[in-house]
Amino acid sequence: MSASFPRRPRSWNSPHDRARVRTSERLDAPLDADEAAWLDAHLADCGGCRAVAAAYEAQRLELRTLRDQGPVPPRDLWARTAAAIEREAAGSAAPARSRGSRVPLLRRVRPSPIPLGALSGVLVVAVVVGASLLGGRPSPAIAPTASAVVALHSQAPSTAPRLTPIPVTADLGWMRVGPQGQMSVYFSTVDEVCASSAARDCAPIEEATPRNVTLPEPPRSVVLSPTASQLVVVEANTSSGTGGTVYVVPVPTPPGGAASPTPVPPPTPIPTHTGDTATSAPGTPPPTPTPHVTVGATIEPQVPPPSPTGSAVSPTVPTGSAGSPTPHDTPTPATPSPASPTPPGQREIASNVVVVGETAAYSPDGTWFAFSARPAQGGEGPDIYIWRSGDARAEPITTDHRSVFSGWLDDQILGSRAVFEPRLDGAGESAAGGFAGRSFVIDPNTRTETPLDGVPGWRPTVDPTRRLAIYWDGSLEFDQATSEWRPSTGRLVIGRWPGATTPSPSDDATSEPGTARPSAPASARTTPSASSSVAPSVLPDILQGGAVRDWEARWDETGTRLAVWIADDSDPSFGRLSLYVVDPATGRITADPPLAGELALPGYSIGDGRLVWATPPRQNGQGSRVKVLAWTGTSFGSVETAPGNEQAVVIR
């Protein structure tokens, strides 16, 4: 042993303690004569200490026998390291990458923050700027005016407590469910949050005057359109046994707001590009929200839908399906009955379905809305549905009952399909095979499906820079009770996204064995220049091993903040939410996540420097709190609403 150390006199708790320490030290270097003599004398009389000395020697010998039997590093380790060093050198010389240009969901219009206490006074202005303020982009007809800005700056200063405030700009919206189905819609803006140490004492978010919507059933999730003109509301209907309904509801204005005489949003023309534009055609008056919205409860009779024109395959459903399913079995596409009580301004775009998961989302340009759903009856699995803004009904674009919507890749739908693999890698499934996820993209306009060979896992959620993805790496099983595909054995990981990457020399030098480049459509190959800066060999990172009943992962617009909600094993109606910071250089999660395992309902919102979620109602009758974690640079802080009496659903 060569680890010799200088010694200094010390006091001992007991002679045995001294003997143990000196025994250890003598393994590293000879003791001085006096101490060696003392130790020898003590060991001669102390059987216990001799046993300790023998044990030290034995374990040392066992360890030292391995000195010359070191494991062999991978042969390509230098190639990988050299490539990483080259990227490091290039990265240090290159200018900092600018943030993505994607407009956040709820970007504010006003140029500077205002105190929380002034928000109530701002509401009159908020009515005027309404949708544009919420949507992050000015509507052509109601762009913010100079007077609005002046009014914002003229508000009285806040009187709220100001404990360690961190200035942020965070817009958020949520619904609270009343006992009679009355929905109160709240929108608010948070300008300051409190550091974690003071969050408990932070003044709560002021809940502005609610805007009312009446729904027949409480919503399970609510999605705001990119134009902020409408909400897609997914019912949590299980009481009627006929499945839930998906509604499109105009964003209500607050009481006293200007009501439109024609509250129905006009059919939205398809934008000709995917840029940051509203869905309304130039010169078309924007949809004007109504002050109060009522949604009918009648489930409309179903009409066979137009057949999808895509190439979705229809393999045999592994279990629970009687006969070969067809799109016509699915209940969704139907023309609303003229007798429908659904009031003008609202659309029932799907009914008699059970929406699967929380991945439902608008396309970036707001033209399409995609979600996963299964029939309320029949035990069939899910398919992907899309609805074009302005159309009467959503349509399924897969028919195999094994497909789910994972997210949008620019203007393409990214989906996952459960497919049977005769032989899965790994020990557990090798004999009988099993189901695993395969990804694909679908062009919503042509319904053309393109497989993404080599894209790993089930339900990948790709970051905005197309470098990383969260996905389930493992097998799947069909849950008879819920008629849904769910993870079986495996792990939830963050890994390199091989789809839609443009080949580069550095990529080739560092590509992982067995990771094939997918055949992605041209429109999906929008890799940013920074993609080659990710060190792929360090991935995947395991986010959650073992059983995962369900999860919900979302990135912020920069691709550096990742929120992951993981359902509770026993009760998936709530789960744990974490926010991770992802190192853009390595693609790895950094230590000390700003949020780790907070109790949360599904359906959170992330983007524009904030994460918003709702806590589950408590058993004491206390309702949900809406919580905000916001950040500016590396500073994180939080604030929350006071608990109401009802459950809250975050608008995302």
HSE-up of residue 571 (Cα within 13 Å, Cβ side) = 6
Q: How many CB atoms lie within 10 A of CB 167?
A: 13
Nearer to other proteins, 256 or 545 (CB): 545
Counting contacts by CB under 8 A, is residue 124 touching other proteins?
A: no
> Which residues touch 133 (CB under 8 Å, ≥6 apart)?
108, 109, 110, 126, 144, 171, 228
Q: Which residue of 37, 41, 44, 85 would you call a contact of other proteins, by CB under 8 A?
A: 85
Note whether 360 and 234 are within 8 A (CB).
Answer: yes
Q: Which residue of 337, 489, 506, 523 would you call a contact of other proteins, by CB under 8 A?
A: 489
Counting contacts by CB under 8 A, is residue 60 touching other proteins?
A: yes
- Cβ 354 to other proteins, closest distance in Å? 27
Nearer to other proteins, 64 or 162 (CB): 64
- The token duo for 44 is 């001669």
Counting contacts by CB under 8 A, is residue 67 touching other proteins?
A: yes
Compute the chain's Rg from CA coordinates. Answer: 29
- Cβ 21 to other proteins, closest distance in Å? 5
Task: Kindly state the helix (H) or strand (E) to which residue 15 belongs, with its residue range.
Answer: helix 15-28
**Per CB under 8 A, which of residues 338..367 are in contact with other proteins?**
none
- Cβ 583 to other proteins, closest distance in Å? 11
Note whether 588 and 541 are within 8 A (CB).
Answer: yes
**Per CB under 8 A, which of residues 570..609 are in contact with other proteins?**
578, 580, 586, 588-593, 596-597
Counting contacts by CB under 8 A, is residue 73 touching other proteins?
A: yes
- Cβ 91 to other proteins, closest distance in Å? 10
Q: How many CB atoms lie within 10 A of CB 646?
A: 18
Counting contacts by CB under 8 A, is residue 94 touching other proteins?
A: no
- Cβ 52 to other proteins, closest distance in Å? 7
Give the number of residues in contact with other proteins, rule: CB under 8 A: 75
| C-alpha pair distances (Å), 341 with each of 298, 299, 300, 334, 512 | 7, 10, 10, 15, 57
Counting contacts by CB under 8 A, is residue 24 touching other proteins?
A: yes
CA–CA separation, 210 and 221 (whole Å): 18
Nearer to other proteins, 84 or 409 (CB): 84
Q: ∠ CA 253-194-104 to the nearest 5 degrees?
A: 45
Strands of 551-555's sheet in order across: 551-555, 561-567, 575-581, 595-600
Measuring CA to CA, which residue among 238, 246, 248 is closest to residue 351? Answer: 246
- The token duo for 379 is 């035990």
Torsion over CA: 24, 29, 33, 37 (sign)? positive
CA–CA separation, 340 and 332 (whole Å): 16
- Cβ 356 to other proteins, closest distance in Å? 22
Counting contacts by CB under 8 A, is residue 537 touching other proteins?
A: yes
**Per CB under 8 A, which of residues 545..564 are in contact with other proteins?**
545-546
Binding segment for other proteins among 4-12, 115-123, 124-132, 636-644 (CB under 8 A)? 4-12
Nearer to other proteins, 91 or 117 (CB): 91
Nearer to other proteins, 81 or 120 (CB): 81
Q: How far is CA 525 from the centre of its chain?
A: 22
Counting contacts by CB under 8 A, is residue 522 touching other proteins?
A: no
Name residue 156's amino acid. A
Note whether 401 and 419 are within 8 A (CB).
Answer: no
Nearer to other proteins, 24 or 450 (CB): 24
Task: Kindly state the helix (H) or strand (E) to which residue 30 belongs, with its residue range.
Answer: none
- Cβ 83 to other proteins, closest distance in Å? 9
**Per CB under 8 A, which of residues 397..426 are in contact with other proteins?**
424-426
Nearer to other proteins, 102 or 576 (CB): 576
Q: Which residue of 11, 14, 69, 98 would you call a contact of other proteins, by CB under 8 A?
A: 69
Counting contacts by CB under 8 A, is residue 474 touching other proteins?
A: yes
Q: Which residue of 9, 47, 70, 621 would you call a contact of other proteins, by CB under 8 A?
A: 70
φ and ψ at residue 367, rounded to 5 degrees: -75, -40
- The token duo for 220 is 């399970």
Measuring CA to CA, which residue among 529, 548, 537 is closest to residue 457? Answer: 548
Counting contacts by CB under 8 A, is residue 5 touching other proteins?
A: yes
DSSP 544: E
Name residue 113's amino acid. P
Counting contacts by CB under 8 A, is residue 36 touching other proteins?
A: no
CA–CA separation, 574 and 624 (whole Å): 12
- What residues pair up with 486 in beta bridges, in sequence order? 477
Q: Which residue of 367, 399, 475, 532 would you call a contact of other proteins, by CB under 8 A?
A: 475
Binding segment for other proteins among 302-310, 348-356, 534-542, 639-647 (CB under 8 A)? 534-542
Nearer to other proteins, 41 or 55 (CB): 55
Crossing angle of helices 33-45 and 15-28, rounded to 10°: 120
Binding segment for other proteins among 27-35, 271-279, 359-367, 391-399 (CB under 8 A)? 27-35
- Cβ 605 to other proteins, closest distance in Å? 22
**Per CB under 8 A, which of residues 422..441 are in contact with other proteins?**
424-429, 436
- Cβ 491 to other proteins, closest distance in Å? 6
Counting contacts by CB under 8 A, is residue 84 touching other proteins?
A: yes
Counting contacts by CB under 8 A, is residue 47 touching other proteins?
A: no
**Per CB under 8 A, which of residues 286..305 are in contact with other proteins?**
none
